[in-house]
Amino acid sequence: DTGVSQDPRHKITKRGQNVTFRCDPISEHNRLYWYRQTLGQGPEFLTYFQNEAQLEKSRLLSDRFSAERPKGSFSTLEIQRTEQGDSAMYLCATRTGGLHTEAFFGQGTRLTVV
Amino acid sequence: AQSVTQPDIHITVSEGASLELRCNYSYGATPYLFWYVQSPGQGLQLLLKYFSGDTLVQGIKGFEAEFKRSQSSFNLRKPSVHWSDAAEYFCAVGAGNAGKSTFGDGTTLTVKP
């Protein structure tokens, strides 16, 4: 257990429904990242927060995706109008600031869109 | 743009044999390099990291990796593999203070008894 908590661990939803995932970071970690991992591939960067500010978004993050970190602690990732192509593992990673620090990953949320 | 290539999709080794997993990266500046391990349905666990200094880095579980700038490589090694090492291994390159990483597509390790 890295100390980064993600909820739920698994989510099955029907196409067209909205889903929301939550990530609770290690308490002193001010930087938070969301990644998406599809079968047979490595994680792909989606977005990055420093405290409550969303500093970078990947072009993978379509208009149906939104992420928030309202108080600089936990973060949510919402997918609206889910599509089958959204089926993937969504991973959250957090780290402290500074150059030589590594990110700690949560166990991920496995999304299946049927 | 940064990128990572893991040339071997799947490797099978016998328990007790040595292991080397290959990783090649592309990055314009001095890279931050990482190796992670992932068991099925789980998140990623950091095995080791390179930021600067000694090019041979030691990690957890008996793993080590060597940074070779001239070859743009960061290969992972273990002298004697255990059955519990069977998993998927990801190499990643990081972008400085922003901290986001670009991952390779992974190498699946199978360990034969």
Contact call for A42 and B34, based on CB within 8 A = no
Model confidence at A96, in pLDDT bands (50, 70, 90)?
Answer: confident
Model confidence at B96, in pLDDT bands (50, 70, 90)?
Answer: low
> Which chain A residues contact residue B3 at CB under 8 A?
none
pLDDT reported for residue B5: 97
- Which amino acid, A114? V
Predicted confidence (pLDDT) per residue in B26-50, tens digit = 987 778 999 999 998 788 999 999 9
- Give whole-number Cα distances, A79 to A15, A40, B18, in Å: 11, 22, 44
Contact call for B49 and A42, based on CB within 8 A = no
Predicted confidence (pLDDT) per residue in A24-37, tens digit = 999 989 999 999 99
Contact call for A43 and B44, based on CB within 8 A = yes
